[in-house]
Amino acid sequence: MRAAVLFGKQDLRIESVSAMSPEPGEVIVRVAYGGICGSDLSYFHKGRVGDFAVREPMVLGHEVAGTITAVGGGVTSLRPGARVAVNPSRACLRCDYCRAGRSNLCRSMRFLGSAAVSPHVQGGFTEQLMVREDQCVQVPDHFSLRLASCAEPLSVALHAAHQGGDLLGKKVIVSGAGPIGLMCVLTAIKAGASEVHSTDILDAPLITARALGATAVHNAATKANALEVLAEGKGYFDVGFEASGAPQALVSLFRLVRPGGRIVQLGMLPGGDTSVPLNVLQSQELELVGSFRATADFDRAVHALVSGQFDVAPILTGEFPLDCAVEAFQMAGDRTRALKVLIAVSPGLERQGVDMNPRPDS
Amino acid sequence: MRAAVLFGKQDLRIESVSAMSPEPGEVIVRVAYGGICGSDLSYFHKGRVGDFAVREPMVLGHEVAGTITAVGGGVTSLRPGARVAVNPSRACLRCDYCRAGRSNLCRSMRFLGSAAVSPHVQGGFTEQLMVREDQCVQVPDHFSLRLASCAEPLSVALHAAHQGGDLLGKKVIVSGAGPIGLMCVLTAIKAGASEVHSTDILDAPLITARALGATAVHNAATKANALEVLAEGKGYFDVGFEASGAPQALVSLFRLVRPGGRIVQLGMLPGGDTSVPLNVLQSQELELVGSFRATADFDRAVHALVSGQFDVAPILTGEFPLDCAVEAFQMAGDRTRALKVLIAVSPGLERQGVDMNPRPDS
Amino acid sequence: MRAAVLFGKQDLRIESVSAMSPEPGEVIVRVAYGGICGSDLSYFHKGRVGDFAVREPMVLGHEVAGTITAVGGGVTSLRPGARVAVNPSRACLRCDYCRAGRSNLCRSMRFLGSAAVSPHVQGGFTEQLMVREDQCVQVPDHFSLRLASCAEPLSVALHAAHQGGDLLGKKVIVSGAGPIGLMCVLTAIKAGASEVHSTDILDAPLITARALGATAVHNAATKANALEVLAEGKGYFDVGFEASGAPQALVSLFRLVRPGGRIVQLGMLPGGDTSVPLNVLQSQELELVGSFRATADFDRAVHALVSGQFDVAPILTGEFPLDCAVEAFQMAGDRTRALKVLIAVSPGLERQGVDMNPRPDS
Amino acid sequence: MRAAVLFGKQDLRIESVSAMSPEPGEVIVRVAYGGICGSDLSYFHKGRVGDFAVREPMVLGHEVAGTITAVGGGVTSLRPGARVAVNPSRACLRCDYCRAGRSNLCRSMRFLGSAAVSPHVQGGFTEQLMVREDQCVQVPDHFSLRLASCAEPLSVALHAAHQGGDLLGKKVIVSGAGPIGLMCVLTAIKAGASEVHSTDILDAPLITARALGATAVHNAATKANALEVLAEGKGYFDVGFEASGAPQALVSLFRLVRPGGRIVQLGMLPGGDTSVPLNVLQSQELELVGSFRATADFDRAVHALVSGQFDVAPILTGEFPLDCAVEAFQMAGDRTRALKVLIAVSPGLERQGVDMNPRPDS
C-alpha cells in the first residue's frame, strides 16, 4: 500500500505503508479521491499549520471518499464494497463539548492528517485508511466518488452558514473565492439570501463565483471602488463570510456589513494578532463569530451532494495520480489556475459514466 | 437657568441659558442630578469622543433625573411635579432599525449631550431640559433621584447582559471595574451566573466589586498570575464582558473565555484598529459581539432600581454642585478615588430621608 | 369612486364612496388589484373572523397594489404615478411591541379591512385608498401590479419561515395547500430545506404544490397511509408549517414532526379550544409557535417578487372586475377550482405586456 | 441487599436483591437517599406512567445520592468512598440527538426506574446501584447526601429555565407548586426574573413558594379573581412555566402570558389530547415548548447545590426508612402535607452535622 507522506517542509514522498486489519468498530477504506485543502498546502509549503508543526512523517489529506474493503468486529452499518464519504473528524463523543452538540470543539479530537496532536493523526492520501464506522457516510453506487470527496469542504461551508444565522432574504458577502469561499457562495444562495456577492484579489476564481450564481463579484485589488460604494452609509450587507484568511479582507467586512450585522470568520487567519476596527464592532453592535470545521453538517453535506442540490463540479479544476502528488500540490497552490485539486489515489474505483452533475430531486 | 457648557477641550463653563417652553409632545425636566460618564470625561479632557469632536458649545451629560416642570400639547402620561428618570436616547421610531427593535442603532438618533450630529444635541447638566414625553420614566415620590440618575448606566449593563445571552449557571468575567463594569458585575450576579470575576488594573474599584458580590477580583497589573491560571486549558469562563475599553483587556479575554464562549465588547475602544488574536476566535468559535447603549432596557433599569433589585449606591462616590462641575470632572477622572460622580444640578429636589438602599420587594 | 362594501353576512355590495384628499403624511392609492384572503372569505360567509363581527358597513380587502394619485403634506418618498404594493399593517410605531420589533403585535394596530377595532378599518377593495406613506413600497414601472398584490400573503409566509428558524437542510412539511400554504412551500424551498412536503385534503391544490417544487405531496384524506409511514419512529420532519387552520392537520403534525422539532401555526384555527396531544409536546420537547401576519417581511416580499426570486403566478387562478366581487368571492371559496382570486379594481393600471414571471437576477 | 420493588399497581415490596460486581466502565453506588418523584407516584398508584405500564418487577426511584463502593475496570475518575449524586439518564452518546447536544431525547435512553423499555431499567431505591462512571457527579465530603439527591429535580427546573430563554428582567409565572414547580420558582428568581408568581390549587405548597421568595402566590381554586386581573390586557407575564400537569393550568397560562411570550410545559400532562386555545397562540404569537428531563444541567445542578446558590431544604418535608417505603409513597401523595419525601435507603452514610443550608460562596 502507498501513501503521500510529508517528512517536512516541501518534502512530500510516496511511501509504502504496511497493510492494516480493522480493529473492532473500525473499517478500512480504500481511498479513491482526496481533495487538497488549504491546510494541506500549509503543511506542504511551511511544514506547519498555525501553531502545529510536523514533527514526524505524516500522511496528508482529510477530504476523501472511497470504498470499504474490510470491517472490524461489531460493525453493522457497513459492508465491504460500500462506497463512502469519510468524515475526517473523530470526536470522542464523551467530553462536555461533544455532549453539548459541539463536537468540532471536542477536547480529544482526532482529525485526519493533523499535527495538532502527538503522535500525529495520519491522513487520507493513502490507499488504505482506518476510520471509525461512524466516520463513514454511504453514498449510492451510481454517485461519483470525486463529488463525494467534496463533502468535507461543503460541510465546512454549511456549518459556517449556520453560524451566520437565518440567511433567508439577507444580503450576503463572501470574501475569498477559493474552494471554501465558493462553497459559501453556493450555500448562501441555497439558503435563500437575496444577494450573494463574492470578492477576491484574482479574477479567475471570481469567474467561477459568477458561474455558480453569485449576484455580483468584486476584485478587491483592482476594483476597490465598487466595494467602497457598498460600504457607504455604514454598509450594505447583513452577513459577511470571511473565507480568505486575509486580515485586510476581514477589515473590509467591518465596513461592508451594516450595523447589527454578523461576520463569520472561517478562513484561517495568520497566527498572532490581527488588527481590526473593533471600535466599530462596539458602536455598531457587529457580531464577529468563528467557524471551525463542522459537526452534523457532514452528513447533510453528503445528502446535499447526492441529491444534486449543490453543484460543486465547477470547483474541481484538476486531478493528479498519487504518484504525482507533488505536482498536485504545486498546481493547488497556484490560485490563478486552480481551485480544488484532487489526488486520484485509486481512481479505478470511480464508476464509469457517473454523473458529475446530478439533478435535484424532482 | 444655568448649565454646564463645554466650549472646547478642558473648557467647561457654567453658563446662563434662556428659559424654554415645551413644544407639542415634549416636556421640560428640572434636572436634580446628573452622573458623569466616561464619554463626558472624554469630551472634557480631549474635546472629542472617538470621531466626534465638539465644534460648538455643548451642554454635557446624559445620565439625569429630575422633576417635570411643564408639559407640551398632547402630553398625557406626565404632569408637572412628576419625578422622572430621563432616557437620553431619542430614537426616530420610524427607520428600519427602530422598527426592528434595535433603536439603539437608529439612523437618526438624537442622544443627549452628543457631538455625533450637527448641530450637537445639548445634554443634561442643565437646570432645564426639554425631552420627548416617552423619554421620561416616572419613579415613585419616595424614590431617590440620585439613584434614578443611575438608570442609564444600568440600562447599558442590562443591554450588554442580553447581548451575552442566557447567563444562568455561566461563569462570567468582567474586565474593567469602572461604573459600567461594576454594573455588569451586579447584572451578571442578578442573572444567575455561577461565578462572576472582576478585573481591573487598580485595587480601589476592585474593592467595590468584591463588596457588590463578585466571586473573585483580580488586579491584572499586579497579579497577572492568577489570571494566567484561569486561562489554562483554553479558558475558564463562558462569557466575558469587556467594560474597560483597554485593548489589552480584550486580548486577555480571548484567552480567558473558553472555546465556544462569548465576549461582549461594551467598553469604548480607542479609534482605529485593535489587535486581537482572531485566529483563536476562528479555531475556537468564539463570538465577539458589540454592545452599544440600550433599548427597552432603560425602562427595565428604572424598574430594577425602584424595586431595589439592584443596589448601585456603593458605586456613587461623590457629588458636586453645578457650580463646581469642573471639580466634579476632575474627581471623576481619578479612578483611584472615584467611581460614579454626580453633579447636583438642583439637589433641593431630592426628598429628605429617601432610602438610598431600597430593599427588594417582599 | 366605488368600493366592495360588506354590510353583513353574505351581503356584499358595490357602493359609491366619496372622493378623498390625502391628509398630512398620507397618500391616496388608486387600487389596481386586490387578492381575496381567507379572512375576507370568513367576513363574507360568516360576517365575522373569529371574535370580530362586522357591526357596520366595511370595505373588505387587504392584499392590494396600485398607483399613487395624490400625496399629503410632508410626503417625500412618493409621487403621484408611483406604482406601489400596499402594506395593510398600520402599526403605531410607539408601543412596546413596535419598539421591540414586533409591530405585528402592535397594541394599536390598524389593519386594512378589519373589524377588530371600532369603527372598523376600511379595506382595499376600493378605487381609492388612503394609507400612510410608509405603508407603500414602490415597485418598478415594468412590474405587474397583479404580482405586487401578492406581496402581503408572501410576507405572511416569509414571516412564518422566520418563526420556523433556520431551514437550511431541514426536512419541512406544510399542511394546507391554499395560497398561504403554497407560499410556505415556495419559501421553504427558497430557504434551502432539503425536502418540502405539502399536504391537503384535495388533489387540486396539491397539483400546484408539486408544480411549485414540493418534494412530495400527500392527500391526507385519501392517502393517509403515506403520512403514517412518515410518522413512524417519532416523525420524519424537522419543521412543520400548519397553514390550513384545520385542527386535525395540526394534530397530525405532532406525529410527523420529530422530537425537538418545531411546528409553526399560521393558519387561523377555529375560535375556542383545540385538542392536541400536548403530552407528546412535553416529552418530545416540541416547539409550537404562532405566526401572525408580518413585520419587515413585507418589504422583503416586494423585493423577492420584483427580483423574480419567487414565482407566485401559478397561485393566481382567476380575476373578476369589481362589479363582480360577489362572483369573485364565490369562486375564491371553491377550493376545488380556485387558489388566489383577484378583484380587478382598476385593471387599466396594469401595463400591457408586463412579465408575470420575472426571472431571477442574473 | 434490599430494594423497593414495584410488582404492580399499589404493590410495592421490600425485596432482597443479589449483590453486584461492577462491569467495565461502571461503578456500584450504595444509595443513601432517594427522592420520590411524581412519576414514581404514578407507577405506584396506577402501575404506569403515561403509556408505559409496569410489566415486570421494577425497582422505583431515580433521584438518588450515595457513596461509591466498587468501581469496574477502566474507571478513573471515581474511587470507593466517593460521595456522589447520580444522574439517572444514561444516554447512548452516539445517536443523532446525543451528538446534537440533546441527550435527553436520546434514541436509546436508559433512565433509572423506567418502564419505557423492556426489560425495564431498574431504579435507585436500592441499597446498591450500578451506573456508568459518567452518571456520577462527586460532591464534597461535607456535603449532605439528602441535598445531593435533589440534584435531579433541580436539573429539571434548570433545563426548563433554559427552555424559557433569558429570564433576566422578565415577569414569570409558575403553575403548580409541587417540588418541581417550587424549584422552577427558585430558578426563575436566581435567573433574575423581575417577578415570579406561583400558583396552585392548595394553600400549603404556596406557603413554601412564598418562603422561597416568590413575589406573589395565587390559589387558583379559591382566589381566581386575582389571576383574572393579571390576565387583563392580553396577559401580564413574559414567561410561564407549567409544572402542574393540569390541563386547566395550561389553559390559564394562555391568558396570563402576554402576546409574544413563551410557555414551557414541563409538567406531565395526561395521555391523549389536551384542549387549549390555540387560536390565541396563533394570533398572539405565543410559543409553547416542551421541557423533558435535563442534559448538562445535572452537573450544573450539583454545582449549584454544593455552592449553596439554591436552597432546596424547605422543599424536603419528610423521610422514611426503606422498610417504610409504602408509607413514604402514601405521604408523598398527600399534597396537603408533603412536598419532596425522601426514602432513607442507607441513612448512615450521611455525615453527622452536615449543613443543610450551605451559604453561597463568599
**Pairwise CA distance, residues C346 & C354, whole Å:** 16
Assign a CATH topology to domain B156-290: Rossmann fold (3.40.50)
Span D163-212, pLDDT tens digits: 999 999 999 999 999 999 999 999 999 999 999 999 999 999 999 999 99
CA distances, C110 to each of C65, C119, C342 (Å): 18, 11, 23
Chain D: give the shortest CA distance to residue C61, in Å. 19
Span C226-270, pLDDT tens digits: 899 999 999 999 999 999 999 999 999 999 999 999 999 999 999
DSSP secondary structure letter of residue C91: -
Please say if the pLDDT value at position B362 is more than 70.
no
Span D310-361, pLDDT tens digits: 999 999 999 999 999 999 999 999 999 999 999 999 999 998 777 676 655 4
Q: How many C-beta atoms surround the C-beta of residue B51 within 10 A?
A: 10
Q: Could you give the 3-state DSSP secondary structure of residue C64?
A: strand
Q: Alpha carbon A201 to chain centroid distance?
A: 20
Span D34-50, pLDDT tens digits: 999 999 999 999 999 98
In sequence order, which ranges of D17-103 are alpha helices (DSSP H)?
Answer: 38-46, 96-99
What per-residue confidence (pLDDT) applies to C351?
81
Residues 6+ apart with CB under 8 A from C233: none
Please say if the pLDDT value at position C353 is more than 80.
no
D55 pLDDT band (50/70/90 cuts)? very high
B166 with D169: Cβ contact below 8 A: no
Tell which of D282, D293, D297 to mutate to test the C interface (max C CBs under 10 Å): D282
Of residues B60, B79, B67, the one with CA closest to residue B4 = B60
What per-residue confidence (pLDDT) applies to C354?
74
What per-residue confidence (pLDDT) applies to A362?
41
What angle (nearest 5°) sits at the alpha carbon of residue A20, between those of residues A19 and A22?
155
Please say if the pLDDT value at position D213 is more than 70.
yes
What per-residue confidence (pLDDT) applies to D353?
73
D275 with C271: Cβ contact below 8 A: no
What is the mean predicted confidence (pLDDT) over B332-357?
Answer: 90
Q: Alpha carbon A320 to chain centroid distance?
A: 19
D290 with C276: Cβ contact below 8 A: no
| 3-class SS letters over chain A | CEEEEEEECCEEEEEECCCCCCCCCEEEEEEEEEECCHHHHHHHHHCEECCEECCCCEECCCEEEEEEEEECCCCCCCCCCCEEEECCEECCCCCHHHHCCCHHHCCCCEECCECCCCCCECCCCECEEEEEHHHEEECCCCCCHHHHCCHHHHHHHHHHHHHCCCCCCCEEEEECCCHHHHHHHHHHHHCCCCEEEEEECCHHHHHHHHHCCCCEEEECCCCHHHHHHHHHHHCCEEEEEECCCCHHHHHHHHHHEEEEEEEEECCCCCCCCEEECHHHHHHCCCEEEECCCCCCHHHHHHHHHHCCCCCCHHHEEEEEEHHHHHHHHHHHCCCCCCCEEEEECCHHHCCCCCCCCCCCCC
Q: Closest chain A residue to C305 measured between Cα atoms?
A: A194
Please say if the pLDDT value at position C187 is more than 60.
yes
A354 pLDDT band (50/70/90 cuts)? confident
What is the mean predicted confidence (pLDDT) over A72-83?
Answer: 97
Span A252-273, pLDDT tens digits: 999 999 999 999 999 999 989 9
Of residues A346, A350, A345, A315, the one with CA closest to residue A332 = A315
What per-residue confidence (pLDDT) applies to A51?
83
Please say if the pLDDT value at position C78 is more than 50.
yes
Span B3-13, pLDDT tens digits: 999 999 999 99
C358 pLDDT band (50/70/90 cuts)? low
D99 with A101: Cβ contact below 8 A: yes
CA distances, D183 to each of B357, D171, D265, D298 (Å): 29, 16, 14, 14
Please say if the pLDDT value at position C146 is more than 90.
yes
Q: How many C-beta atoms surround the C-beta of residue D348 within 10 A?
A: 8
Span B212-237, pLDDT tens digits: 999 999 999 998 888 999 999 999 99
Span B44-82, pLDDT tens digits: 999 999 889 999 999 999 999 999 999 999 999 999 999
Q: Could you give the 3-state DSSP secondary structure of residue D358?
A: coil
A218 pLDDT band (50/70/90 cuts)? very high
Identify the CATH homologous superfamily for domain C2-150+312-352.
Medium-chain alcohol dehydrogenases, catalytic domain (3.90.180.10)
Nearest by CB: C296 against B99, B134, B295: B99
**Pairwise CA distance, residues C67 & C63, whole Å:** 14
Please say if the pLDDT value at position B358 is more than 70.
no
Tell which of B87, B96, B99 to mutate to test the C interface (max C CBs under 10 Å): B99
What is the mean predicted confidence (pLDDT) over C138-165?
Answer: 97
D263 pLDDT band (50/70/90 cuts)? very high
**Pairwise CA distance, residues C283 & C252, whole Å:** 17
Span D93-137, pLDDT tens digits: 999 999 999 999 999 999 999 999 999 999 999 999 999 999 999
Residues of A in contact with D95 (CB under 8 A): none
DSSP string covering D236-289, please?
A: SEEEEEE-S--HHHHHHHHHHEEEEEEEEE-S-PPSS-EEE-HHHHHHTT-EEE
Long-range contact pairs involving B214-223 (C-beta distance under 8 Å, separation at least 24): B214/B174, B214/B185, B214/B189, B215/D361, B217/B177, B220/B175, B220/B249, B220/B252
D273 pLDDT band (50/70/90 cuts)? very high
Residues of A in contact with C191 (CB under 8 A): 166, 168, 191-192
Of residues A297, A67, A48, A337, the one with CA closest to residue A183 = A297
Under an 8 Å CB criterion, which residues of D touch B? Answer: 158, 161-162, 165-169, 187, 190-192, 194-195, 215, 297, 300, 303-304, 307, 309, 361
Query: pLDDT above 70 covers what percent of chain B?
Result: 98
Span D221-250, pLDDT tens digits: 998 888 999 999 999 999 999 999 999 999
Residues of A in contact with B111 (CB under 8 A): none
Query: pLDDT above 90 covers what percent of chain A?
Result: 94
What per-residue confidence (pLDDT) applies to D351?
81
Locate the domains of chain D by residue range.
Answer: 2-150+312-352, 156-290
What is the mean predicted confidence (pLDDT) over A312-318?
Answer: 97
D289 with C287: Cβ contact below 8 A: yes
What per-residue confidence (pLDDT) applies to C362?
41
What per-residue confidence (pLDDT) applies to A352?
76
DSSP secondary structure letter of residue B126: B
What is the mean predicted confidence (pLDDT) over C66-90?
Answer: 98
D273 with C275: Cβ contact below 8 A: yes
Q: How many C-beta atoms surround the C-beta of residue A107 within 10 A?
A: 14
What is the mean predicted confidence (pLDDT) over C186-198?
Answer: 98
